[in-house]
Structure 1
Amino acid sequence: MTTATCSSSSSTLPTTLLRGGGGSTTGRRLLSSAAGVLSPGGHRGGGGRATITGRGDTQLSSTAAVAPPEVHPDGVTIIKPDRDTRHYRYLVLPNGLEVVLVSDPYTEQAAASMFIRAGHMQDPPELAGMAHFHEHMLFLGTERYPEEGEFENFLTQHGGSSNAYTATESTNYYFDVKSSHLRGATDRFAQFFRTPLFAESAIEREMQAVDSEHSNNKNEDTWRIYQVLKATANPSHAFSKFGSGNYETLRPRPEEGVDTRASLIDFHETYYSADAMKLSILGNEDLDTLEAWVRDAFSGVRNTKPPAVPDYGPYPAFGAAELGRRVTVIPLKETRQLALSWPLPPYQGVTRALLRNLYSQGYEGEGGLHKLLHGRGWVSSLSAGSMVTGTDFQLFRLSLSLTEEGERHTDEIIELCHRFIALLRSEPPQKRIRDDLAAMTEIGFRFLENGGPSRAVQSIATTLGQEDVVPAEVLSGAFTVLEWDPAALTDVVNRLTPKNCQILVVSKKDEEEADKDGSAAIGWRKERWYGTSYKVEALSEELLRRLEGVPPHVEGFPEAFRLPGANPFIPTEFSLRADDAGEPAAAAQEGTATAGDADADAEAVRRLLPASIPALALETVPKEDWSRLVPPSLVAEGVGGEGGRGGAVNLWHKMDRSYRVPKSSIAAKLWTPEPYASPMAAMQARMFVRLLKEDLKSWAYDADLAGLRYSLEMTTRGLQLSVGGYSSTVALLLSKILGHIGDLLAEYRELGELMESGRGGGGGGAGVGVGGHAEGQGLAGLTARQELLRQRYETSRESFLRYYRNSAQDQPYETADYYVRQVMEAEVWHIDEYRQALEDRDACTPADMARHFDKILGRMRVDVMAHGNVGRKEAEDLASAIADALSRTEPLPEAELPTRNALRLQAAGEGEGGGGNGVVVVELEADEAEKNSAVQVYLQAGPGESNLDLASALELINTLGYTSAFQQLRTREQLGYMVYTHLERGPSGKVTPPASWDGAGAAGGGEEMHPGGPLAWSVVVQSPDKTPAELEERVEAWIAGFRDELAALSDEVFQSTVASMSSSVLRRERSMREEASIFFGAIASRTGDFYRRYRKAESYRRLTKQAVLDAYDQFYAPGAPARRKLSVRVASQRHARDAEEKAAAAAAEGGWGHRGGREAGGSGGPVVLRSLEDIRAFKARTPIYE
């Protein structure tokens, strides 16, 4: 169930910060060759409009494959994919506001997004953070709807949510809502931009909210490093501004002539002009209806004609004074990063797309920079792309995550990066790479499936807001590659010089030097807003000359660098298996309907459905779509490997006839208890999976570029593998993954034997470089490949160890959530136990990892689902490939499948012992710099999913409670930025064999057949000002008062909320991938409940207001006999000292005080758990949930 989120999200960070990645690929010219039509609406003009509703067959062109559009000589023709059933219309209102309407007759959820061409780079110099603050204020009342929170309440009652974000040069507001309430939501949304109140009563509180948000961000390295980047930019350029703001920067200062409210109004009138806005709205109404609503709601937005293009003056964001520099940053967490950044003109189109392709495919494949550096054990990841894009510049960044060994070779890595760039300069641009990229973008657009409404409108509005994007391309722009332009590429590469580069090094190596007295004298500075230590040093002339003169050749690596080769994974065959299935009866065998007589086909499909299918499923899904209701069928049990050995694989299959795209997927859950048998077992299993994925990188990126994806994850119950993409290449990808599991395990097995025998030395060597680049203490007798594997093992161990050590810097609310699970899950290991296992160098070795993974593969039970454009014989072949890879695996008996269990807390009315008065976990925040404290109040309720009516009542309480808690605890009481509620399901200890399934649930139907774990309601608050105990008091006060809100609900609001919840779970799947996820979820969870959402919707429809109040009174009301409470308090060290003082004062007066209560084994008062030992002792005497 979607609920209203916080009224405004945040200011944003570049998505490629440090990690790099792709920049925007919008900004192409009109795709005239795609549709064969050059629309006169290719430019933007007032009052014009165009509609596209046509569909048809498409052939690949030199740009993108699209459905032939209807041509409208009076407007714009929007290009859309082959299979897109939505209809689009572009129009410009008389006030200049540009709009794209989307009519989707199948959608149950509507959405809208407004893009504003103004961000924090437009902040007035005296009020840093104004754009972000203004974003917050728009949610706090308008002339037509003056009540704060009215918009969120409306959305919550109608199954919706809202949010917003502020970027450098833009702001985006968006919402979604049940389709039947789109008009009401649209009218409320429009008032944001017409008549916001900017009420004096809200300004002070919301400045505090922005300050709380900044307080949360201060301990996040990503924000800290980004602000250092701004601090090292040209101070005369707007990019250098402090974008998120805080109370200090936003408060009124009459002595300086700063009036915050007047500035808010001025900012709104200046930048929130209709011709600087781009709106997209999606609903299930026809286009004419949507247009009428938009004209009525948004025509009143004023056009104040702001500057069309921001003027940042004559100074570049990064000029000569800021470049040719090395910036060293001290992080809070144990992080090692290297980034090389070059400011470039704001290139668009083929130039940016090809650069991203080169700086990704070339790096991870053979002959690439990533291959070389990873092979030396110096980097764990490498990426590149446009980190920041603006009107007058973009920042192109090459980002590397360094290992501990790599940190010692930072200068050599910098030189190797410039050597690779020298390769790009030394060879002419490769048209072949452009053609590969063009082929895949064409295929990707042709078979693109519809995304969710909220994501769709955000993408359209944002794309429409790009100055060089014509309206025709709001869908196709990201999938378009322009004509070949080698001169433009050459110009870009020639700008990637050492003098034009800023080098960023993030490391704790110099932390002691930066913190000591007198550090400023040797160049260390403190960034103003976050307090980050950093140093800026000019690159020496000698170093610049050396880097500028490096050749694209590395001694010892005559073939080290080369450009990417042809991509073998690009699909060439796109036939649909459903077209070959034959008559309806044959199709029924495949589990779907066929074309032909609709009623006959529907009846053929109906016979495939289980007798216990919920009636609501047949009522709400049209007959012609009943094939979507047919679950995967169990076509084979106990599939064995080559020669029939093993017999551990069960196969489910469903061939698609609904989405008709040439894509398929195969997903496998490999059940085994071994990965979670001990902390060491868990770490060795996770490390092998990570090492396997790293070893697959040399070709996996090619697969990704060709539209294939794979996931391989170790869980507490085994291994989960999935492969999906274009049908013609799925089997190839699966076979490579399966083959590599055995090959890599054999290599590590041999390496372990060598190291244990002494022929390869012992563990813990400092590392040997490949190709003659020996460093430190080498290991004798290992081949280059074996030494590479040994280094990778050490790098993986170090990476996990660093991750667990960094957990000490988690935000308090994250720590609270972690400790809820530590207490409530019966079988769970602790971070400290993982860390201790990793630090045991004698036990944590490649040999032990190989032995443990052999044990994992020794006994398994495997559930496999083949779904999509795949016939039964193909599905059986895929399952056989998995069985062959497990040919030595013994079947794990069903009775031995691993389970997970939840503790059953004692209820308040169940007497002494076991925590009946509540359990409090007190954990000091390890980081002295952390100023925030947090509390999570966790109320365990009834028997969870086995009682859907109770679950529905609890879900409604959470849906309404989320918004109520936010408004009371954050907006009114200003406790902190982080306030939310959520309903969670505890683990269930039951699994059932598939032979007992009938498609409607593990036990074959009925209301008591779903073995879900217990439900629990959590309320989370984080604050810089209150102790955890004080926060808990406010949470309890809100919970007590929330009962009155529930009782006061009108019948209209209650029924509307219930209807929205029902509509949400009945939402039609938007893609084949989404359908596969739903079906495999029922298989992987061993519930067999393919129709759970329909039974949930039936339960919602039975729900009464009295049932909701009864559930509240039974489980949540303070003092209720059935109340089961766990409270996790996480204190900053400052707040912990305050609490100790208060507790001492209370004890002196004979009371319990804030930290009172009994110890883990005491009696009277709440149980207080202050250590992992306390938690384990408590769990040992607490029953699990049956």
Structure 2
Amino acid sequence: MTKGCKATSEVSGGGGAVEAQSESGVEGGSVPPLPEAAITPPTCHLLQAPIKSPFDKKEYRVIQLGNGLRALLISDLSKKLSSEDDEGLMHFLEHMVFMGSEKYPKENAFDYYIKKHGGRDNAHTDMEHTTFYFEVQERFLNEALDRFAQFFIQPLMKVETMTREREAVHSEFQMAVPEDSYRTQQLFATLAADGHPMGKFTWGNESTLNVGIPDEELHKKLHELRLRYYSAHYMTLAVQARLSLDTLQEYVTSIFSLIPNNGLSCPSYKHLEPPFPVEKFHRLYRIIPMKEYHSVEINWALPSYLKHYKTKPLHYISHLLGHEGKGSILSYLKKKVWAVGLYSGNDGSGFEHNTTYAVMSISVELTDEGFKNLDQVLLVVFQYLYMIQQTGPVERIFREIQQTEKLNFDYAEEETAIENVENLSEGMRMFEPEDYLTGDSLLFEYDPEIIKNCMQQLVPENCNIMISSKSYEGQDVCCMTEDWFGTKYSVEDIPQEWVKEWSKPPENPHLFIPSPNKFIPDNFDLLKVEEGATEYPRVLQKDEWGEVLYKQDQKFKLPRTYCYIYFLSDLLLQSPRAAALLDLYLNLFQQHLMEDIYPANMAQYHYTINATERGLVFKINGFSQKLPQMLELLLHHMDTFEEHLDEKSFQEIRQQQMKSYHNAIIKPENMKKNVRLSIVQFVHWTPYEKLKAIVDVTSKDLLEDFVYKLYPTCHIRMLVQGNTSASQALDMYNLVKTRKVKYEMQVVPPFPEMRTMKLLQGCWIARLKAVNPADTNTSVINYYQGKEGTLMTEVLHEFIQMVMDEPVFDFLRTHEQLGYHVYCTNRNTYGILGISITVNTQANKFGVQHVDERIEAFLKEFLNTVRNLSSEELSSLKDTLTSMKQTVDLTLREEVDRNWGEITDGEYLFDRLQRQIELIKDITRDSVAECLESLVSSKTNKEYRKLTVQVVGASNPEDGTPPALEGLLGEDNVVKFLGPCDKSAVKDYPAEQFITDIASFKEKLEPYPVTKIV
């Protein structure tokens, strides 16, 4: 029994506070008058503690405050050191409560406090709730909680702040406009019944928050909305820290009891009809996407299954429909070369699953051939559906899913504290206290009737079909326009002959339910720590072919192992064709691999295969027992790659790869990145260069010009870390080396190191026209290049970024309102340090000259701020940076990834953090100011080197059409450089400072020497 609380089994009937719900349907329709909000004295009741994993060392306590707020307290001492909602108004309210409170009136005061003390914060609004979350150093937690609680106690929400923050909401919406997932989701919302909240436009933009509504009225609506929905008894709160439960309880009780309770019943949608009437929903939609692809999506609108979380019928069904192993829908479609990917199920978001309905979707990414045979693809889907409906629920499959989810829960690696409290606070709305930790993860009860009931609703007669294809463009097919995102689409009845055939389809012998999973482990023993075990990875073997490093885990004590393999080759530096062939090889390799590897994925074994500028990286991890078998499987598919390669698959996958390049090219953010790297790196191949290079390649080219050359000439770097022995690590290394023998392995010369180009002194401008004329988003990065890095300059740069992080946001976003995404970044380009500031804005809002000028104005002000740091401020900031570096690795993966970064960079400084902590002591105000001045001050620094890359979006996006793949292939170069603009109110740079050809500009540059920061 804890002081100040009395035990009770009573469970509050309401939702939450790190998560504050914004449910907008009130039973009975109209909103009753708001009563005077009551503030209750700081008391609490103790609720039932949640069930936890046997390996979870954290302690938990659930309390309910006198005002109705429920809180989950997490002590981690084991670690060492809506209907009345105007369109988008709840989203706007989420933004506004950050802008100061009666107790802490300065705008962005909370954000400043959190970042000053090494933390971060964010918020997001879903269909039925809003979630606010943050993390901060523990010694500042109490005051941070008090500042946080003021969002809900007495936020200011001033009119003048509202008019500025409205611009941020609109900018956020504009950034979403080119994204196909958001465009399709909003079109889906139009299928809702008139007046139903599911049909609302929840983003908010300048039209819904400005046009036709006076600021005074909007301001009044915001305050009414806050008083109605930000009430304590609707809120849930989760707090995690390395503090005792009693201390956390004292913090929460004293602070959060001050949140008012408005006394109104919790909002409900129970009085509403189902959101999607069949006559409106059961149609076929054709959509023109922004990106280059074909897909077909089959949707069903089902009743909500939130209350059935102990059985999770949607999880069971999506496991079968989304399976990628033998007998699955995708496996069959891949063999026919009709599809490259399939997603099935429900993503768990508020849009796809809430108290009014749940969506079940099957989305198939089609090849060109699959699009031509769309009717057959759909038939295969319904054949599988009919087969599992006739079979009915299979207990073996349910128990297998149950077993793997239990293993993942019991032996889970820690989430970060901020991710943990975010997820838990949202789950607290739906689960009983004892299930707060398990409710979202585990399957508790096998209930075949619930599963069967859900399955039987997935019939052709009530499905919705959405077909997306760039090929509809110019065909006079999609002549309708969605109101908010401008999506072009058409709607028609689903052909009755299709529905008739799907209702009782012919049997397909190639489709069957999954076989028992042989990858599920049954041995979770931890190995004894070997004699001579080291704190850092050590080299087990180094030979002419490569090296393997090894570290046995002594800290996390989980039966998991990580194995990372880097195949380095200078082949990829020789031409964009070689780099494109690597992308194509990996795409084909993973297509061939998936059927066999998928059962391992389901048993919590994971892998990634990625292309880098210097080679390819295989990463595998999972339970230690069967990880060598997974490695064997990957290597076997490397051996047999040529046997699986057929010309038809090759042509279709090559086309998919070309579309992937196209989709990267049309995004301003990607163009900005690729142009900058093309200038500052000795070698960097852009998506456009790779697109042009891959057009005519054949399967023979792939084998002879790439595969046969890569493995014999590559150099291996390998790390094995976790619950494994040195001999097992050596065995895995030898398995990898054996594969090189197949390709007549050669002695590999030392790998040529990557180098960075030294920019000319002064400021250089690469101004480009965005590729997509239907996208108004503009992206600007100002990059300030420094010198060869040392450990001390590395620490100084990190200190500068930490101090700059909040002021750059406050200056350029909050006050200047330049755009939604504003941030600063440390840059380490192969040992050459620098710093950058990025602003994403809209072309019809601000010109790039203005953005650049305001960035420079900020830097001038920030430099003065640094010069005037007091001794106390400097000491506090140094303590913050030290604390951030002293934070222990939370998971084995985190430690492995940090070690792997040292290996891939070739620096091997595994004690980097400890060395940096010592150097932080030497930081002075003058050393910080001198470092910053040497980067960003053109007046006092003769070595000033600035590159600004400005990708200019479309001023009139509504008149533009996204370019098709064929259109890009017809261009000599998609990089269209722009010169100075005389029409801007801000004076532009001289013409001679503009880059008009990257190759010509780089001829004037010299590379820095190879640099390692050690």
TM-score using structure 2 length: 0.90
Q: Which amino acid in structure 1 is aligned with residue 57 of structure 2?
A: T
Partner residue, 2:538: 633
1:239 aligns with 2:194: no
Q: Which amino acid in structure 2 is aligned with residue 1109 of structure 1?
A: A
Distance 1:250 1:527 in 2: 19
Q: Which amino acid in structure 1 is aligned with residue 832 of structure 2?
A: G
Query: The residue matched to 1:858 in structure 2 has which SS?
Result: helix
- How do residues 164-183 of structure 1 correspond to structure 2 at under 5 angstroms? 164-183=123-142
Query: The residue matched to 1:634 in structure 2 has which SS?
Result: strand
Deviation (angstroms), 1:809: 2.4
Deviation (angstroms), 1:1081: 2.2
Query: The residue matched to 1:921 in structure 2 has which SS?
Result: strand
Bigger-Rg structure (1/2): 1
1:264 aligns with 2:222: yes
Deviation (angstroms), 1:213: 1.3
Partner residue, 2:511: 561
Partner residue, 1:415: 379
Partner residue, 1:711: 608
Query: The residue matched to 2:381 in structure 1 has which SS?
Result: helix
Contact 1:1114 1:1123 in 2 (8 A): yes
Deviation (angstroms), 1:74: 6.3
1:589 aligns with 2:532: yes
Deviation (angstroms), 1:542: 3.5
1:43–1:319 CA distance, 2 compared to 1 (3 A): farther
Contact 2:979 2:991 in 1 (8 A): no
Task: Choose the corresponding residue for 1:837, options 693, 696, 709.
Answer: 693
Partner residue, 1:995: none
1:1145–1:931 CA distance, 2 compared to 1 (3 A): closer
1:1144–1:131 CA distance, 2 compared to 1 (3 A): closer
- How do residues 1102-1113 of structure 1 correspond to structure 2 at under 5 angstroms? 1102-1113=922-933
Partner residue, 1:486: 448
Deviation (angstroms), 1:267: 0.6
Deviation (angstroms), 1:362: 6.2
Contact 1:362 1:564 in 2 (8 A): no
1:475 aligns with 2:329: no
Partner residue, 1:607: none
1:248 aligns with 2:233: no
Deviation (angstroms), 1:814: 3.5
Deviation (angstroms), 1:874: 1.6
- How do residues 523-672 of structure 1 correspond to structure 2 at under 5 angstroms? 524-551=479-506, 553-554=507-508, 559-578=509-528, 581=529, 587-591=530-534, 630-638=535-543, 648-672=545-569
Q: Which amino acid in structure 1 is aligned with residue 485 of structure 2?
A: Y
1:138 aligns with 2:97: yes
Distance 2:918 2:744 in 1: 42
Distance 2:212 2:463 in 1: 40
1:697-755 alpha-carbon deviations (Å, 9 max, x no partner): 1122211111111122222222211221111110110111111101113554xxxxxxx
1:1056–1:844 CA distance, 2 compared to 1 (3 A): farther
1:1169 aligns with 2:991: no
Deviation (angstroms), 1:932: 3.0
Partner residue, 1:511: 473
Partner residue, 1:1123: 944
Q: Which amino acid in structure 2 is aligned with residue 1179 of structure 1?
A: K
Deviation (angstroms), 1:361: 7.1
Task: Choose the corresponding residue for 2:776, options 916, 926, 931.
Answer: 931
Query: The residue matched to 1:577 in structure 2 has which SS?
Result: coil
Distance 1:41 1:703 in 2: 44
Distance 1:549 1:1059 in 2: 69
> How many residue pairs end up in the alignment?
949
Deviation (angstroms), 1:1102: 1.7
- How do residues 2-13 of structure 1 correspond to structure 2 at under 5 angstroms? none
Distance 1:1141 1:883 in 2: 53
Partner residue, 2:682: 826
1:188 aligns with 2:147: yes
Distance 2:238 2:69 in 1: 11
Partner residue, 1:861: 715
Deviation (angstroms), 1:805: 2.0
- How do residues 16-415 of structure 1 correspond to structure 2 at under 5 angstroms? 44-45=11-12, 75-105=47-77, 107=79, 122=82, 124-125=84-85, 127-251=86-210, 253=212, 259-311=217-269, 313-347=271-305, 348-349=308-309, 351-352=311-312, 355-356=315-316, 358-360=318-320, 363-387=323-347, 388-415=352-379
Deviation (angstroms), 1:589: 2.6
Distance 2:278 2:757 in 1: 62
Deviation (angstroms), 1:1035: 1.2
Task: Choose the corresponding residue for 2:660, options 803, 823, 838.
Answer: 803
Deviation (angstroms), 1:502: 0.7
Distance 2:590 2:316 in 1: 22
Deviation (angstroms), 1:167: 0.7
Query: The residue matched to 2:596 in structure 1 has which SS?
Result: helix
Contact 1:1026 1:1135 in 2 (8 A): no
Contact 1:41 1:77 in 2 (8 A): no
**Two-structure CA RMSD over aligned residues (Å):** 2.6
- How do residues 915-994 of structure 1 correspond to structure 2 at under 5 angstroms? 916-944=761-789, 947-987=790-830
Query: The residue matched to 1:941 in structure 2 has which SS?
Result: strand
1:893–1:847 CA distance, 2 compared to 1 (3 A): closer
Contact 1:163 1:175 in 2 (8 A): yes
Contact 1:637 1:651 in 2 (8 A): yes
Distance 1:795 1:1122 in 2: 50
Partner residue, 2:991: 1157
Distance 1:673 1:890 in 2: 18
Deviation (angstroms), 1:956: 2.1
Partner residue, 2:427: 463
Distance 2:692 2:918 in 1: 49
1:632–1:1023 CA distance, 2 compared to 1 (3 A): same
Distance 1:1129 1:123 in 2: 42
Deviation (angstroms), 1:590: 3.7
1:943–1:245 CA distance, 2 compared to 1 (3 A): same
Distance 1:254 1:920 in 2: 42
Distance 1:351 1:511 in 2: 44
1:262–1:746 CA distance, 2 compared to 1 (3 A): same
1:675–1:1114 CA distance, 2 compared to 1 (3 A): closer
User: What are structure 1's unaligned runs of at least 5 residues?
Assistant: 1-38, 48-71, 110-121, 582-586, 592-629, 639-646, 749-788, 907-915, 988-1011, 1159-1165
1:1126–1:433 CA distance, 2 compared to 1 (3 A): same
Deviation (angstroms), 1:694: 1.3
1:103-144 alpha-carbon deviations (Å, 9 max, x no partner): 1125579xxxxxxxxxxxx2635x210110000001100000
Partner residue, 2:870: 1050
Deviation (angstroms), 1:358: 4.9
Query: The residue matched to 1:235 in structure 2 has which SS?
Result: coil
Deviation (angstroms), 1:487: 1.4
1:108–1:281 CA distance, 2 compared to 1 (3 A): farther
1:1016 aligns with 2:835: yes
1:500–1:40 CA distance, 2 compared to 1 (3 A): farther
1:932–1:252 CA distance, 2 compared to 1 (3 A): closer
TM-score using structure 1 length: 0.77
Distance 2:756 2:459 in 1: 58
Query: The residue matched to 2:278 in structure 1 has which SS?
Result: coil
Deviation (angstroms), 1:949: 2.0
Distance 2:151 2:881 in 1: 26
1:671–1:41 CA distance, 2 compared to 1 (3 A): farther
Deviation (angstroms), 1:869: 1.0
Distance 2:670 2:539 in 1: 41
Distance 1:858 1:723 in 2: 22
Distance 1:917 1:715 in 2: 31
- State the identity as a percent: 25
